[in-house]
Amino acid sequence: MDILLIGGGGREAALAWKLSQSTEIQTIWTTHENPGFPSNVKRLPEGDHVETAAKLGVGLIVVGPEGPLADGIVDRANIAGIPAFGPTRAAAQLEASKGFAKDFMVRHNIPTAAYGRFSDLQSALGSLVGPCVVKADGLAAGKGVLICQTKDEAADAVKHIFGGAFGHAGAEVVIEEMLEGPEVSVLALCDGERFLTLPPAQDHKRRFEGDTGPNTGGMGAFAPVDVPDGLIRLVGESVIAPTLRGMAEAGSPFSGVLYVGIMLTKNGPKVLEFNCRFGDPECQPIMTLIDEDLLPLLLSCATGSLREEPIAVKSGAACCVVMASAGYPGPIVKGVEIEGLEKTMEGVVVFQAGTKRASDLIVTNGGRVLGVTAVSEDIRGARDLAYSRVETIKFEGASWRNDIAWQAFKGD
């Protein structure tokens, strides 16, 4: 069949790379240009994406970013009779509104941090008592979460959000207690009733080494994470299953991929956030570890026919190091030539995220430029291999964290 992939960043590059290996796919249509996409990927003709997909006879729409999900692209695909991998607009509120998600978790006894919701500045300021996490309610490209160690920092964060830093996404603010412990991302493929978990991953959101600096869309990730025995089963029973039941009872069954950000606190695992799509960059190492055709899995989620057998996963580990433009997550310079992409290294895939073609050159076109992803027999080997490849790629202002996967080695 032909499929349509919505999006053109690093996550979609990883999805396109994995899907292109399927013998059941003829053409992958995409909505965005990405010089790193495989050769069987073609740009969708201009026009409404769903209408055009219907005319082309597309058999599945795979939605990468959160924006189109929140805008209801799956609802429109359903009306057009095209299976779509991703939640409906109503179900995507689990990510599109942090306040909605927090209220949902409380109603369904899903463990999470204590919180408050505020729609005006003075009420929010009056609630501050000390260390906390301040979040813009809506979608903010992974940058709307501000970790505040003091009351003054929290006050500045609240003013920053209500001052318009994240546009409409900051019309409401959620203020949470600060949880402590290691983080893990548990992703599950869902068909509205059933789910299958993927290898647990860990993202590195903070810009600089030692987990310092501002939050970003993600500076790197690795999988699988060494988690306590029974954790994935516990998250499935206490978080994912009640989420699917609750959304179904509300008339908005959740299908697609449910991303659960978990903090492993001394009082047990608690949910930090829900995402309704593959994390970026967690998607990159996870895709390199899946050891079977991805298409039937995504199609069965879209058609409500997900199997019970676990997903086949390779032994070993994968590590993704993000190479970013100078200044990220602030203002950046685009159009910088990238050298070294034509080189190859066994066990490494370079997923292009913020790039574009300029004549016969590949140049930077975003904050997060590349996701250098390596697979090896263990996380140490994967990390070393990824950094070896990073050193062979050059562009002016290139920067990256040198401590991706550090928590896997903190006991050494």
| pLDDT, tens digit, 9 for 90 and up, residues 148-203 | 999 999 999 999 999 999 999 999 999 999 999 999 999 999 999 999 999 999 99
pTM (predicted TM-score): 0.95
What pLDDT digit, counting tens, does each position of 227-237 carry?
988 999 999 99
CB atoms within 10 A of CB 114: 12
Whether residue 66 is predicted with pLDDT greater than 90 in this model: the reply is yes
Candidate from 120-129, 248-257, 392-401 with smallest mean pLDDT: 120-129
Residue 408 has pLDDT above 70, yes or no: yes
Closest among 296, 292, 294 to 305, alpha carbons compared: 296
pLDDT band at 46 (very low <50, low <70, confident <90, very high): confident
The mean of the pLDDT values for the chain is: 95
Question: So what's the pLDDT on residue 55?
Answer: 95
Instruction: Give the H or E element holding residue 65.
Output: none
**Looking at residue 369, what is its pLDDT?**
98
Q: What is the pLDDT of residue 355?
A: 98
Contact 66, 277 (CB under 8 A): yes
CA distances from 155 to 38, 121, 136, 151, 278 (A): 47, 9, 14, 6, 32
Write out the DSSP string of 357-389: EETTEEEE-SSEEEEEEEEESSHHHHHHHHHHH
Count Cβ atoms within 10 A of the Cβ of residue 51 and give its class: 0-12 exposed, 13-18 middle, 19 or more buried: exposed
pLDDT at 332: 95
The answer to whether the Cα torsion of 247, 252, 257, 258 is positive or negative is: negative
Cβ atoms < 10 Å from Cβ of 407:
17
What's residue 178's pLDDT?
A: 94
The residue with tokens 């965005």 is 32
Give residue 253's pLDDT. 98
**pLDDT number for residue 151:** 94
Q: Express each pLDDT in 77-111 by its tens digit.
A: 999 999 999 999 999 999 999 999 999 999 999 99
